[in-house]
Chains A and B, each alone.
Chain A
Amino acid sequence: MFIVNYIKEVLSAVRSLLVGLRRTGYYFTHHKEIITEQYPDNRDTLKMADRFKGEVVMPHDEKNEHRCTGCTACELACPNGTIKVITKFDISPEGKKKKAIDKLVYHLELCTMCNLCVVACPSDAIVMAQTFEHSVFDRASLTKILNNPDSKIMEGVE
C-alpha cells in the first residue's frame, strides 16, 4: 500500500498548494481592499485605531476639572519613571486639608506606551490619546504637564 499512500500524499500536497494559490490569487484580483496608508497625503482623513496608544493625556471637562486625586498610583506603576506627581494640600472652606495634584509631570521622551499607568489609575483620570506626531526640535517640550493650569478635581471623585 506504499504506492497508494505516496499518490495520496502527492495529491494532498498539490491540493494544499492550490488552496494557497487561490487565496493569494483572490487578493491579486480583488485589488480594492488596500491596507496601505499613504500617510502624509491622507493626513486629514487618517483614522487611528481605538487601541492605538500615542501618549498619556488627562481629559478635562468644560469646567476645567479633571478626575485626578493625586494618589500617585500611576507614578508607582510606571516602569521607567515617566510620570512624576507633585501634590499639594488644598484647604477646604471648612478648614480641612485635602490632598490634590499641583502638577502631573509626564516625560513623553521616556514613555514606552505600555499603558500600565492607565490601568493602575483608580479614578480613570488619565487615558491614552491617539496622537503620534511627537517630533519636536527642543527636548524640553517633550516634558508635559498633564493638568491644565488652575484646574480642579471634579466633584465626587475621591
Chain B
Amino acid sequence: MWSLSSISNAIHTWLNETFNPTWAMIFEMVIVGVCVIGLFAVLGLVLVIMERKVAAWIQIRLGPNRVGPKGMFQSMADTVKLLVKEGMTPNGVDKFLFNLAPLIAMIVAMLLMAPIAFAKDFVMWDLNIGVLYVTAVSSITVIGILMAGWASNNKYSLMGAMRSGAQIVSYELSAGLSILTIIVFTGSLNISDIVLSQANGWWIFKGHFPAIVSFVIFIIAVTAETNRAPFDLAEAESELTAGFHTEYSGMKFALFFLAEYINVFIVCAIGATLFLGGWMPFHIGNWEAFNHIMDYIPSGLWFFGKTFFLIFLIMWFRWTFPRLRIDQLLNLEWKYLLPISMFNLLLATALAILGWHF
C-alpha cells in the first residue's frame, strides 16, 4: 500500500541534517501547525457549502447558486464578509472571558486533530491512548460554551450554555460506552492499532450485532455532543435567538461556527476510524485479489470518503428530525441510550471473550 510516510520521513531527515534537532523539531511543529490551520480553513469552507447544499436538496430547493460555478464560492464570500465585520464586545460582558471563549472552542477543536490518522502512517501524534485523549479533550468544548454563555451577560446565552452543558455531560456517557465496545474488541486505545486491527474487515461488519448497535448509539450521541439538530437546544434559533453565541459577531462568531463544523468533522473521523476502518480500504476476510484491488485506492481517500459519508449522515439527521425538548433529550439519554449501550457493552465483552467476532 502506498503511504505518505516516505514524504514525511524525507522532510524529517532533511530538517535534521540541515539544522540542529531543536530547530528541526520547531520547524516540524510549524509545518504541522500550518497544515492544521490550512485544513481547518478548507474544512470550514467545504462543510458550510456542503451543509447548505444538502439542506437545499433535502428541502427541494436549489441552495446557493450565484457565487462561482453552482454557488461553490458562496462560503468564501461569507468568510470574507465575516472577516471585514466588526468584532463587537458589548458593554455589559465580562470582556476577558467573552474574548477567550471562542478561542477555547477553537483550540479544543485543534487539539482533537492530533491523534487522528488521516492516511497510512500519517498521524500528527501517534500516542498510545489516542481514543481516551479524544474523549477527554472533547469534553473541554463545554467549558468554552459555558464561558461564552456566562460572559455574555444575557439570559438567552446563559440558558443555551446551561442546556449545552447538561447535554454534553450526559451524552458523553453513551458516546464513551459505544467507543468502549470497539476498544473491547481491539484491546487497544491506540488509533493506529485500531485501524490496523480492521485489515480483514471493518468492525461494523466484524463485530456483529453489538458493533451495529454501538455505531447507531455513537452517531446519536455525537450528534448531541456537537450540538447539532435535532439536539441543537444550545442554539435553538426559534427559542434562544442563537443560544450561547447570541452576543458574538464578526470573526468571534465565525470561530464558534468553524469550531462546530470542525467538531463535526472530528467526531465523524473518530466514528469512521472506530467503526468503518479509518484509512483502511474495504477488505473482505481472505479475498486476496479483491483486497489487493481495494489497496490501489489511496488510504487518505478512504479516510475522507468515510468521514464525509458520516458527516452527510449527520446533516441528513439535521434536516429531517425536529428539535427535542430538554426533558425528552435527557429521557432519551438516561432511559434509552445509556441502558442499551451498557447492555450492548456486556454483550460485546462476551463476544470478545468467547472469540466469536471474526
Binding site for B on A (CB under 8 A): 10, 17, 20-21, 23-25, 27-28, 31, 33-36, 38
Interchain Cβ contacts under 8 Å between A and B, 25 examples: A10-B336, A10-B340, A20-B320, A20-B321, A21-B316, A21-B317, A23-B320, A24-B58, A24-B316, A24-B319, A25-B316, A27-B57, A27-B58, A27-B59, A28-B54, A28-B57, A28-B58, A28-B316, A31-B57, A34-B61, A34-B62, A35-B60, A36-B61, A36-B62, A38-B62
> Ordered nearest first, which 4 A-B pairs have the shortest CB separation?
A24-B320, A36-B62, A24-B58, A20-B320
Chain A residues near B54: list those with CB within 8 A. 28
Chain A residues near B58: list those with CB within 8 A. 24, 27-28
Chain B residues near A24: list those with CB within 8 A. 58, 316, 319-320
Kindly state the separation between the CA atoms of A36 and B55 in the bound complex, as whole angstroms.
Answer: 13
Kindly state the separation between the CA atoms of A33 and B59 in the bound complex, as whole angstroms.
Answer: 10
* Contact A27 B336, CB 8 Å, known A20-B321, A21-B316, A21-B320: no
* 11 additional contacts (CB under 8 A) given A24-B320, A33-B60: A20-B320, A20-B321, A21-B317, A24-B316, A25-B316, A27-B60, A28-B316, A34-B60, A34-B62, A35-B60, A35-B61
Residue of B nearest to A37 (CB): B62
Minimum CB–CB distance for B272 against chain A, Å: 20
Residue of B nearest to A7 (CB): B340
Residue of A nearest to B61 (CB): A36
Residue of B nearest to A31 (CB): B57
The winner among B54, B59, B60, B340 for most chain A CB atoms within 10 A is: B60
Query: Is chain A's binding surface mostly helix, strand, loop or mixed?
Result: helix
Q: What 1/0 mask marks residues of chain B from 35 to 65 whose CB sits below 8 Å from any chain A CB?
A: 0000000000000000000100111111000
Chain A residues near B320: list those with CB within 8 A. 20-21, 23-24
Chain B residues near A33: list those with CB within 8 A. 60
Is there an interface contact between A17 and B321, defined as CB atoms closer than 8 Å? Answer: yes
Residue of B nearest to A26 (CB): B58
Kindly state the separation between the CA atoms of A137 and B277 in the bound complex, as whole angstroms.
Answer: 65
Chain B residues near A28: list those with CB within 8 A. 54, 57-58, 316
Minimum CB–CB distance for B80 against chain A, Å: 24
Chain B residues near A31: list those with CB within 8 A. 57
Chain A residues near B321: list those with CB within 8 A. 17, 20
Minimum CB–CB distance for B32 against chain A, Å: 37
Minimum CB–CB distance for A15 against chain B, Å: 13
Kindly state the separation between the CA atoms of A10 and B343 in the bound complex, as whole angstroms.
Answer: 14
Chain A residues near B319: list those with CB within 8 A. 24
Kindly state the separation between the CA atoms of A27 and B321 in the bound complex, as whole angstroms.
Answer: 14
Kindly state the separation between the CA atoms of A38 and B321 in the bound complex, as whole angstroms.
Answer: 28
Residue of A nearest to B313 (CB): A21
Chain B residues near A38: list those with CB within 8 A. 62
Residue of A nearest to B339 (CB): A6
Chain B residues near A21: list those with CB within 8 A. 316-317, 320
The winner among A25, A28, A34, A35 for most chain B CB atoms within 10 A is: A28
Chain A residues near B59: list those with CB within 8 A. 27
Chain A residues near B316: list those with CB within 8 A. 21, 24-25, 28
Minimum CB–CB distance for A37 against chain B, Å: 10
Residue of B nearest to A23 (CB): B320
Kindly state the separation between the CA atoms of A71 and B54 in the bound complex, as whole angstroms.
Answer: 56
Chain B residues near A23: list those with CB within 8 A. 320
Kindly state the separation between the CA atoms of A54 and B321 in the bound complex, as whole angstroms.
Answer: 36
Minimum CB–CB distance for A50 against chain B, Å: 22
Kindly state the separation between the CA atoms of A23 and B59 in the bound complex, as whole angstroms.
Answer: 11
Chain B residues near A35: list those with CB within 8 A. 60-61
Q: What 1/0 mask marks residues of chain B from 54 to 85 whose CB sits below 8 Å from any chain A CB?
A: 10011111100000000000000000000000
